[in-house]
Structure 1
Amino acid sequence: MDLTTVRWFLMVAELGHVTNAAAELRVSQPGLSRAIARLEEELGIRLFDREGRGVRLSVYGRIFAEHARRLVAEQEAARRALAQAADPERGEVVLAFLHTQGVWLVPELLRGFRQRHPQVTVRLIQDRAVWLEEAVREGRADVAISSPQPETAELAWAPLITERLQLAVPADHRLAGRRRVRMAELAGEPFVGIKQGGGLRTILDELAARAGFRPEIAFEGEELQTVRGLVAAGLGVALVSPQPPANEPNEPQGQAGVRHLAIADPGATRTIGLTWVEARTRPPVVEGFRRFVLSRVGELSRGAAN
């Protein structure tokens, strides 16, 4: 059953006359009659009853017509969706990103992109790095902003910014008056850590191992705002990403009870990058978003350094 014949069937049903339907469709009357006959043979039912010089739907034809209209409507909806997806100024981008990038990086990117492409919808997914990679690989997300660089060859990755990580301590902590600290000085301290699978947790474990100790994790969280809140309550210290640029509105920067110290150890950084599947066909709207993000690398790096 092809949809062209289904459309022809619906035209005959609407006009009640094969000759008039053929004229409307600009096909020959015998050709239209043969197409309807083939459709009836395929379905094994009679779709029309003769009525004078015209035709009317049979009891079976009325049932089939309901489904035929839905078939045609679905095809038209699919065509519209494809046309929209092929339009770089419309359609949808699914962006996955780390919880820690929701404070300033992702909002900054989205603000700039929406100014240029106001008709594009951006759907957001937040999760840990391992799940972001899986979402991109499986096609549930178009691109992801994550760290570290994926090890899977299937995934392409381009660096966006490199962050200098900090240590968050309670305001009354013994180190609160310091500007810099070495990881070895934190042996025995209770840590508020990101859950296992998070990039910051992996870096914390690596930095501590190089300093000769294993961090004592007192509490685990998924979002830095929660982690900083637990630090402010005096429940431990935490390895955190830097505070957003001073010209960005942000709650953590003004959070009472927390002091941020530089970490002197080499490797106390992480690079945030953009991940996508290079071999997968990207709709123009997705490719436009990918190119926009990559074009902002220099500006983002300057912002992260401030």
Structure 2
Amino acid sequence: MDLRLLKTFQTIVKRRSFQKAAEELQYVQSTVTMQIKKLESDLGVQLLERSKKVRLTEAGRLFYEQAELLLKNYEYLQNLMKEWEQGEAGMIRLGAMEPAASWRLPALLASFRERHPNVQLRMQIANTYVLHRMLEDDIIDLAICTTPDSGEGMLFEPLFTEKLGLLVPAGSELSAKPEIVLQDLENQPLLLTTTACPFRRELERLLAEKGVTPKWGPEVGTLSALPFYVKQGFGGAFVPCITVAPPPEGTVLKPIADWNVGLVTGLLRKSGNTTLGLAGDRLLAALRESLTNSALGSASIQKIEHFHDLFPFYTPGYWPL
């Protein structure tokens, strides 16, 4: 149905005159008459009684109420599309792995939302493998994660390296060492993350190459739980430094002198001409700027002693992992 016909019908009813409606719409009166005849023909009912003053038929009253709603919705959609084009409306579906999801993104996204309050954000938190699948299935638009095992059909843009350290129980043999080398892990209790963790595979490979065999402890499926298991003496655990800075009471964070590595983290998107619109492009720019320049993104473990300078809002005992 041509919405111009609805607009003409609405104007006639409000002005109670074909002539006045024509003047308001800047049509000749014959055009207005022709449009109403076409509308009535399309609907198969008479909408208006022509007399000195235009009156609605019973069908016309029912149609007018619904037409009013339809035109309001159409105007809303027009405004929404204009806002989307200007980058002030729409929805961005973002996926992120830990610790970025809990530690790096909340403040960034809060700032973005303050600047663009009508842009909706939908967050999914998962590991790289799941985020990769979600991108393929069009569940999310972009992801903050590590390099996927398979890059077919994807673009990965490295942004920063998530530094890792060894968290050990206070009072343990390893906690007393001024520095730790990988050989020190021989026969030491060590907690495992899940098999989906890219760092676990790299750690197991490297230790095997060096002939180091730890006492593998329990497999802990969530990053947020690892410090608690370390604190209870289950063993040491390799963790992102940002999640244990400062280390929880009863634990000590140690650098590994002969292994200065971390998790390369960045933006993963579908390749091709996929567009997120202006709002999505603005969020991508904010992610690139904030995460690339992240204070702890390139910080070493030794620099974490200045944690309160980097995060003055930190409250002891609160670790949003």
When the two structures are superposed, what TM-score results if normalisation uses the length of structure 1? Answer: 0.80
Instruction: Name the CA distance, whole Å, in 2 between partners of 1:66 and 1:203.
Output: 66
The Cα of 1:105 is off from its aligned counterpart by: 2.8
2:168·2:253 contact (CA, 8 Å) conserved in 1? yes
Name the SS for the 1:180 alignment partner. coil
Q: Deviations over 1:245-284 (max 9, x none)?
A: xxxxxx6524111222233565842201112334212312
Superposition pairs of residues 163-182 of structure 1, within 5 angstroms: 163-178=162-177, 179-182=179-182
Aligned to 2:80, the other structure's residue is in SS state helix
Displacement of 1:163 after TM fit? Answer: 3.0
Contact 1:49 1:58 in 2 (8 A): yes
> Which residue of structure 2 aligns with residue 54 of structure 1?
53
Give 1:273's aligned residue.
Answer: 266
SS at match of 1:133: helix
8 Å contact kept, 1:98–1:129: yes
Residue 103 of structure 1: CA displacement?
4.9
Mapped pair 1:258 → 2:251: yes
Does the residue aligned with 1:263 lie in a helix, a strand or coil?
coil
How many percent identity over aligned positions?
24
Separation of aligned partners in 1, 2:74 and 2:210: 63
Structure 1: state its 5+ residue gaps. 245-250
Over 3 Å counting, the alpha-carbon distance change for 1:59 and 1:160 in structure 2 is same
Q: How far apart in 1 are the matches of 2:245 and 2:32?
A: 71
Distance 1:42 1:217 in 2: 75
Which residue of structure 1 aligns with residue 230 of structure 2?
231
Q: In the alignment, what sits opposite 2:24?
A: 24
Say if 1:204 and 1:43 are closer, same or farther in 2 by CA, change over 3 A.
farther
1:205 offset after TM fit, Å? 4.6
Residue 71 (str. 1) matches residue 70 (str. 2): yes
Residue 285, structure 1, aligned to residue 284, structure 2: no
CA RMSD, aligned part only?
A: 3.3
For residue 100 of structure 1, report the CA deviation from its aligned partner.
1.0
Gaps of 5+ in 2: 304-321
Secondary structure of the 1:40 match is: helix
Alpha-carbon separation, structure 1, partners of 2:130 and 2:56:
54
Change (3 A) 1:58 1:79: same
Change (3 A) 1:77 1:112: closer
Contact 2:217-2:234 at 8 Å conserved across structures: no
In structure 2, relative to structure 1, the CA distance for the partners of 1:25 and 1:295 (3 Å cut) is: same
1:77, 1:255 → 2: CA distance? 51
Q: Which moved more, 1:260-269 or 1:271-280?
A: 260-269
Deviation, 1:237, is: 2.8
Shift of 1:196: 4.2
* C-alpha contact 1:149 1:273 (8 A) present in aligned 2: no
> Is the 1:18–1:29 Cα contact (8 Å) retained in structure 2?
yes
**Distance verdict in 2 for CA 1:137–1:74, change over 3 Å:** farther
Cα distance in 1 between the residues matched to 2:108 and 2:5: 48
Provide the rounded CA distance (Å) in 1 between the counterparts of 2:296 and 2:260: 20
Cα distance change, pair 267–149 in 1 and its aligned pair in 2 (3 A):
farther
Question: Using the alignment, how far apart are the partners of 1:203 and 1:268 within structure 2?
Answer: 10
Q: Which amino acid aligns with 1:243?
A: I
**1:170 aligned partner, one-letter code:** P
TM-score by length of 2: 0.76
Does the 8 Å contact 1:181/1:264 carry over to 2? yes
Change in CA separation of 1:205 and 1:49 when aligned onto 2, cut-off 3 Å: farther
> Deviations along 1:102-141, whole A, 9 cap, x unmatched?
45432464477578x4657562332222233344445544
Do the aligned partners of residues 297 and 135 (structure 1) sit closer, same or farther apart at CA in structure 2, a change above 3 Å counting?
same
Kept in 2: contact 1:227–1:238 (CA 8 A): yes
- SS of 1:243's equivalent in the other structure is helix
